Amino acid sequence: MAWAGKILRVNLTEGTCASEPLNMEWAHAYLGQRGLATKYLVEEIDPKVDPLAPENKLIMATGPLTGTSASTAGRYSVITKGALTGAIACSNSGGFFGNEMKNAGWDMIIFEGKSPKPVYLMVENDNATLCDASAHWGTSVWDTEEAIKANHGDPMIRVASIGVSGEKGVKFACVVNDMHRAAGRSGVGTVMGSKNLKAVALRGTLGVKVKDAKRFLGASAAAKQVLADNPVTGQGLPAMGTQVLMNVINETGGLPTRNHREVQFEGANDIGAEAMAVVRESDGKANLVTNAACFGCTIACGRISQIDREHFSVVERPQYQMASGGLEYEAAWALGAATGVNDLEALTFANFVCNEQGIDPITFGATIGAAMEMFEDGVLTEEQTGMSLKFGDAKALCDLALLTGTGEGFGAEIGLGSKRLTEKYGRPELSMGVKGQEFPAYDGRGIQGIGLAYATSNRGACHLRGYTIASEVFGIPVKTDPLDSDGKPALVKAFQDATAAVDSSGLCVFTTFAWTLEDFAPQIDAACEGDWTAERLLDIGERIWNLERNFNNAAGFTAADDNLPERLLKDAAKTGPAEGKVSALATMLPEYYELRGWTPDGVPTNETLSRLGL
Amino acid sequence: MQIMLKLYAGLTPFLPAGAVNNQIAIEVAENTTINTVLDARGCPRKMCHLVMQNGFHVPPGERDARVLKEGDALAAWPPIAGG
């Protein structure tokens, strides 16, 4: 119950699709989605495999509550060994695709091998077929989705696909579903492209069964009421979206600016939520058209935007003049503050292109920031880049979004990501990330806990693996001082473990601004066989965290990779509340290892593994 | 003395006329407290969730007593989150 109980295994080398039963013992130990798919992956691949080799596998996975009537029940994840990082990768997406997969009767789809020619997978409930995708190879996510729906004469088909970037090996290609929802980070789309898999198309009409329907409806309705009554999930997020953070984080002195050279951006107010609502003089409209919700979501934080038709980025490109997926905070930061660009319309254009061609806007923007610093330092020349590339250049940002999306010109170099790009030009210290993945939108000097969360994140630098910002800035569940490193190792561990469970449920992590695991447990308990409590969910989260860690250790990562760039450890913040401060990682990390039950070298002890059943 | 008042998100309507980029320099008397300024603008206390003085968080219990100084930045938000 809740789980469909079936896996679709697609061997791309052989061109076969086969159904197999879900391992229910693992489902009870790892729940679903992130946890359960990671268990399958680590059991089935060599941790040292080249991420782009046919021997790597790629799993699309739902959680037990995906497709149910619970709020935010549209989530699915893409799990693989990441092309950007070489670490475990798990990228989570909303939209409607996950719901469709579950309603077609599948908990997950495992892709193995490599197709000899471009294909897409078409699934209609029990029927799965690999179709020729040669007509779609070389086309964008947007065109692919439209064409596949036309191929089958069904506009209700849900599609997840890669853009040209994923075909060309851009290291941070996404898998984009429903036009502008993305499994965005770590290069999961690059792995999909390496398998000659252009898209997955789904149509599901089977429904999802739960253990106790009456109790489940009661539990999910009560949880929805908690979301509605909470001022953040009931009012703040639908009205302002995540972009409300731009001015908050800037005021806090934790907004990384111009490749982390500074921690406050003078243009923050030009690119945040308030700016998106300002009516433009040119056309009498605001950048923000409306908010939007994913499947079953009662929060609706999504943004739909329209670019000023007179703006240089679209004036001769009518295909970008429509309303489409607008800026979320992380994208706006990376495309804006990280590059010093304060042109909201240019950022929106770059974001549209990231959606259209399937590139992660966080890594893209951060890599542009690193390239701009190298350009200003004279390491890169206009001859090499084909354009002036100074901080704040909105046109360069837009041009490079187009070039990177299709892997052309200097865009192919940006497509390496900042780690490989800066190494290539002899300035590795200018890559702002961990384990090869670029930081998101918070500075570890001004917000100490998130620095530790970045350093220890299993998929490389990431805010979503342990979002301590909730506590350190917003006061959820309790306010802690962002400048104080005391107590942060325990805070990071608590967030990491709880989030791993949430990411395995089929629901959205944004519910945790109002819910605790005590709100998840009754819903899971009413839907799934067995007895489910908040304590059990937390245990599962810790098990997942250690499973991922073990994979990374076996892949060759060590404690030395739980590190931050020297800029955050030695160059003090120049302004704001954190002026004079660097990250206290060196004092936080040993305490974190101890709390985790790991050796001083960051390896889970036998006692810890035994306690977690690993 | 002058301070910089910054009100964001759902508190934006409580800014005085003439505010640009959600902020405006205002005149306040010496020894004015944070809550005196926010109350004078009509900001409901329930909506003043996140309040910062020069970027440093000021807990609700300290806002009645915390005195502003010349040149301070006072910023406030209703309950917000994101990520």
Contact between chains at B8 and A232 (C-beta distance less than 8 A): no
Query: What are chain B's domains?
Result: 2-72 (3.10.20)
A329 to chain B: which residues are within 8 Å by CB? 82-83
A506-536 CB burial, b ≥16 within 10 A, e <16: bbbbbbbbbbebebbbbbbbbbbeeebebeb
The helix, strand and coil proportions of chain B, stated in percent and rounded to the nearest 5, come to 25, 30, 45
Sign of the Cα torsion B49, B54, B55, B61 reads: negative
pLDDT single digits (tens) A495-516: 999 999 999 999 999 999 999 9
Instruction: Mention every residue, 6+ apart, whose C-beta is less than 8 A from residue A45.
Output: A55, A56, A57, A81
In a 10 Å sphere around its CB, with 0-12 CB exposed, 13-18 middle and 19+ buried, how is residue B34 labelled?
buried
B53 to chain A: which residues are within 8 Å by CB? none
Contact between chains at A251 and B80 (C-beta distance less than 8 A): no
Q: What are phi and psi of A93, to 5 degrees?
A: -140, 155
DSSP string for residues in A75-126: -EEEEEE-TTTSSEEEEEE-SSHHHHHHHTT-SEEEEES--SS-EEEEEETT
Q: What is the pTM of this model?
A: 0.98
Per-residue confidence (pLDDT) for residue A1, from 0 to 100: 83
B81 to chain A: which residues are within 8 Å by CB? 232, 236-237, 470, 474, 476, 510, 513
HSE-up (13 A, CA, CB side) for residue A512: 29
Q: What angle do CA A298, A300, A304 make, to 5 degrees?
A: 155
B73 to chain A: which residues are within 8 Å by CB? 251
What does the alpha-carbon distance between residue A215 and residue A523 come to, in Å, rounded to a whole number?
8
- Length of chain A in terms of residues written: 614
Q: What are phi and psi of B8, to 5 degrees?
A: -125, 170
Please give the single-letter amino acid code of residue A339.
T
Report residue A219 as tokens.
């539990």
Residues 8-47 of B with CB under 8 A from A: 8-10, 12, 21-23
Give every strand in the sheet of B50-53, ordered side by side: B23-27, B2-7, B73-77, B50-53, B56-57
B72 to chain A: which residues are within 8 Å by CB? none
Q: By the 8 A CB rule, do A494 and A176 touch?
A: no
Do you find a cis peptide bond into A477, omega within 30 degrees of 0?
Answer: yes
Please tell me which of the candidates A463, A474, A482 has its beta carbon nearest to residue B80: A474
Element (H, E) at A60: strand A58-62
Q: By the 8 A CB rule, do A22 and A29 touch?
A: no
Give long-range contacts, CB 8 A cutoff, 24+ apart: A603-606. A603/A553, A604/A546, A604/A549, A604/A550
Out of 3.10.180.10, 3.90.550.10, 3.40.50.1000, 3.60.9.10, the CATH code matching A6-203 is 3.60.9.10
Give every strand in the sheet of A302-305, ordered side by side: A288-292, A302-305, A324-325
Per-residue confidence (pLDDT) for residue B83, from 0 to 100: 83
Report residue A542 as tokens.
């810790």
Tell me which residue of A209, A216, A276, A215 sits closest to A241, measured CA to CA. A276
Contact between chains at B79 and A236 (C-beta distance less than 8 A): yes
Contact between chains at B83 and A245 (C-beta distance less than 8 A): yes
Please tell me if residue B49 touches chain A, with a CB cutoff of 8 Å.
Answer: yes
Q: What are the beta bridge partners of residue A453?
A: none
- Residues of chain A below pLDDT 50: none
Q: What are the beta bridge partners of residue A202?
A: A123, A158
Tell me which residue of A300, A329, A188 sits closest to A234, measured CA to CA. A300
Please tell me if residue B78 touches chain A, with a CB cutoff of 8 Å.
Answer: yes
What does the alpha-carbon distance between residue A424 and residue A384 come to, in Å, rounded to a whole number?
13
Please, what CATH class does the domain formed by A257-431 belong to?
Answer: mainly alpha
Q: What are the beta bridge partners of residue A17?
A: A10
Please tell me which of the candidates B21, B52, B59 has its beta carbon nearest to residue A251: B52
Arithmetic mean of pLDDT, B34-58: 97
Report residue B1 as tokens.
């003395």
**Which stretches does DSSP call E strand in A234-392?**
288-292, 302-305, 324-325
Q: By the 8 A CB rule, do A204 and A98 touch?
A: no
Per-residue confidence (pLDDT) for residue A247, from 0 to 100: 97
Where exactly are the structural domains of chain A? Answer: 6-203, 257-431, 444-611
Chain A interface mutation, best of B6, B7, B8, highest count of A Cβ atoms under 10 Å:
B8
Per-residue confidence (pLDDT) for residue A220, from 0 to 100: 98
Please tell me which of the candidates B10, B57, B82 has its beta carbon nearest to residue A329: B82
pLDDT single digits (tens) A30-87: 999 999 999 999 999 999 999 999 999 999 999 999 999 999 999 999 999 999 999 9
Q: Which residues of A touch B (CB under 8 A)?
A: 230-232, 235-237, 239-245, 247-248, 251-253, 269-270, 273-274, 301, 328-330, 463-464, 467, 469-470, 473-476, 479, 481-482, 510, 513, 576-577
DSSP B66: P
Per-residue confidence (pLDDT) for residue A395, from 0 to 100: 98
ipTM of the complex: 0.98
Distance, CA of B83 to chain centre: 23
Instruction: Mention every residue, 6+ apart, whose C-beta is less than 8 A from residue B25.
Output: B2, B3, B4, B5
CATH number of A444-611: 1.10.599.10
B49 to chain A: which residues are within 8 Å by CB? 231, 475
A243 to chain B: which residues are within 8 Å by CB? 82
A237 to chain B: which residues are within 8 Å by CB? 81-82
What does the alpha-carbon distance between residue A41 and residue A249 come to, in Å, rounded to a whole number?
37
Alpha carbon separation from A125 to A147, A206, A218, A224, A581 (Å, rounded): 20, 7, 28, 29, 56
In a 10 Å sphere around its CB, with 0-12 CB exposed, 13-18 middle and 19+ buried, how is residue A215 labelled?
middle
In a 10 Å sphere around its CB, with 0-12 CB exposed, 13-18 middle and 19+ buried, how is residue B29 labelled?
exposed
Tell me which residue of A444, A480, A577, A474 sits closest to B54, measured CA to CA. A577
